[in-house]
Amino acid sequence: MKKLISWLAALVLATGLGLFVPAGANAAAPYCGITWGSQAKSRSGDVTPPRIPHVTDVRAGRHACFDRLVVDLDGRLKGYSVGYEQFRGIGSGEPIPLRGTDLSITVDAPAYDDAGEATYEFGNARELVDVRGYRTFRQVAWGGSFEARTSLGLGVRARLPFRVFVLDGPGRGSRLVVDVAHRW
């Protein structure tokens, strides 16, 4: 009986000191339910004619738990690559500095048509979208469009969880969506 009382006392003491905690009881709930992670995300696609989509716009939005970048296309996007790595020009390979941590985005779609005319026009390659006042985004920059691929650089506050997905529409188009969480 003495041994049982000693074991119970030791268990109560260990629990009180936080040495013994039931599984999951001390685990923090994910921020806003976000479980995305920060590893590179990609999907392979075909960039050969006849149905190559073209980049038509780049825009951003703010949400309660994340900032969102959207790349609009005039057709169905098949491939992309998004990851934390130094942002470089797509044709030159030269580094392009960004404010914050570099999140490089490559879309398997050109920003020009078959005649070489731009399908997406912008005023300032260093500031494609005004993201002043965003919690996570610091800068959106142009990296070029070369050999049926377009490169964008997203400067973010820190290496944070992100997700990438493609939405259909409007019409026959599609949208590449990159969400970056405000925190872990």
Instruction: Render pLDDT for 31-79 as a digit per residue (tens, 0 to 9).
Output: 899 999 999 999 997 656 667 999 999 999 999 999 999 999 999 998 9
Cβ(113)–Cβ(56) below 8 Å: no
Cβ(148)–Cβ(172) below 8 Å: no
Higher pLDDT pick, 26 / 133: 133
Percent of the chain with pLDDT over 70: 82
Domain spans in the chain, listed from the N-terminal domain onward:
32-181
Instruction: Please report which residue ranges of the chain form alpha helices under DSSP H.
Output: 2-16
Q: What share of the chain is helix, strand, coil (3-state, %, to 5)?
A: 10, 35, 55
- 140 in helix, strand or coil? strand
> 32-181 domain in CATH 3.30.70.590?
no
